[in-house]
Amino acid sequence: MPKVQETILEIDLKALKHNFEYLKSKLEPNTNFLAVVKAFAYGNDADEIAKYLQDLNIDYFAVAYANEGVALRNVGVTKPILVLHTLAVNFDIILEHCLEPNLYNAKILKEFIAFAEGKNQKHYPIHLKFNTGLNRLGFLKDDVDGLVAMLNNTNAIKAKSLFSHLAASEDLNERDFTLEQIHTFNTLANNFSKAIGYKPMLHMCNTSGVLNYPEAHFNMVRCGVGLYGFGNSKKESANLKPIARLKTVISQIHHIEKGESVGYNRAFKSEGAVTKTATLPLGHADGIGRIYGNGKGFVTVNGKKAPIIGNVCMDMIMVNITNIDCKEGDEVVIFDDKTTSAETLAEHAGTISYELITSISQRVKRAIIK
């Protein structure tokens, strides 16, 4: 590994493959695998990750918004791409790039049918989402009759899948609620398939759903965070490998005398003896939010923990390296695949790995490790 000389997010494709194979080993052989690569593949690098997973013969991709799907098509992704959060303004680019919209209420379904008919489409693949308790997007049980009528009235579109999303798949205290969601979806989907006279694919599980509810894998599962190395529990995270390591270097070292302060608003004050600090070239514009400041977050310098002191700046953080043997230019680890994982760092600041990793901004260089 070349020595790090600036802030770098290293992305390890071998770890990605490990996670993919681990999650796949939990499925029946004929269950399809959809990789959720929204938000730059959770802040990693959607292009490289999607291309690599396509080479591993993944079945499906999903993004949140249409423009993310366009970006994948532009780098050569040819597998089907489900757009989880369709907005009517994007119908044109959806069609132009053969993206498959999730249609989640009567308004957008009606609009998409009219659009597809206007473009002389036949059996354009769409996906229908049911709300079974998350109360975010999706049709309700009472919408089914209207839905069936709309579908049976046109051949411009065809339902390729019916799906739903679990509200608390990682929380076993909510097991009863989750089982009820699965039951509701099963009933809805079966009635719906009967009424339209063909069987779309069914899917419901995210990563934690895959791990905790094997009875709900249906025809396909949708994994995001697990592919990137986090399992939503200590036990499952141990079976997965974080694919990303965020590293940087020490730009400058200061010795702060008693009574002096560090950073904006003088948020850190040296109280005891001299505090030795290191200034690092990354800040909240790179994804290390202000919640990590003032001792909540930490980095690792030559194997030792160095707390972030004072307020996080836009482009820099300062860390306490008193008693750590180091010099300007030395490598610093923000998170890696070991004890100082993104999950641990996020927990220290009271947030979750999803938020930390998806926040790493596009300013940070990515290095793909094959």
Ligand X SMILES: *Cc1c(COP(=O)(O)O)cnc(C)c1O
Q: Which is nearer to ligand X, 113 or 223 (CB)?
A: 223
Name the minimum Å distance from CB 229 to ligand X.
Answer: 11
- Using the rule CB under 6 A, give the single segment among 10-18, 187-195, 219-227, 286-294 that binds ligand X: 219-227
Amino acid occupying residue 307 = P
Q: Which is nearer to ligand X, 124 or 354 (CB)?
A: 354
Active-site option among 22, 38, 213, 247: 38
Residues 46/40, Cβ–Cβ less than 8 Å: yes
Q: Which is nearer to ligand X, 172 or 314 (CB)?
A: 172
Name the minimum Å distance from CB 173 to ligand X.
Answer: 18
Residues 193/177, Cβ–Cβ less than 8 Å: no
Active-site annotation holds for 22: no
Give the residue, chosen from 81, 84, 99, 202, that forms a contact with ligand X under the rule CB under 6 A. 84
Q: How many residues bind ligand X (CB under 6 A)?
A: 11
Binding mask 239-278 for ligand X (x = CB under 6 A): ----------------------------------------
273-294 in b/e form (b: 16+ CB < 10 A) is: eebbbbbbbbbbebbbbebbbb
Binding mask 29-68 for ligand X (x = CB under 6 A): -------x--------------------------------
Strands 304-309 and 317-320: antiparallel
Q: Which is nearer to ligand X, 104 or 268 (CB)?
A: 104
- Please list, in sequence order, all residues whose beta carbon lies within 8 angstroms of the beta carbon of residue 141, skipping any fewer than 6 positions away: 184, 188
Name the minimum Å distance from CB 298 to ligand X.
Answer: 25
Q: At what angle do helices 46-55 and 66-74 cross, to 10 degrees?
A: 60
Give the residue, chosen from 7, 131, 161, 206, that forms a contact with ligand X under the rule CB under 6 A. 206
Name the minimum Å distance from CB 205 to ligand X.
Answer: 8
* Binding of residue 226 to ligand X (CB under 6 A): yes
Q: Which is nearer to ligand X, 49 or 262 (CB)?
A: 49
Cα first-last separation, the chain: 12
Active-site annotation holds for 198: no
Measured CA to CA, the distance from residue 287 to residue 291 in angstroms comes to: 11
- Using the rule CB under 6 A, give the single segment among 69-77, 224-232, 307-315, 324-332 that binds ligand X: 224-232
Please, is 355 exposed, middle or buried when counting C-beta atoms within 10 Å of its C-beta (0-12, 13-18, 19+)? middle
Residues 66/87, Cβ–Cβ less than 8 Å: yes
Name the minimum Å distance from CB 39 to ligand X.
Answer: 8
Measured CA to CA, the distance from residue 340 to residue 333 in angstroms comes to: 8
Known catalytic residues? 38, 264
Residues near ligand X (CB under 6 A): 36, 84, 165, 206-208, 222-226
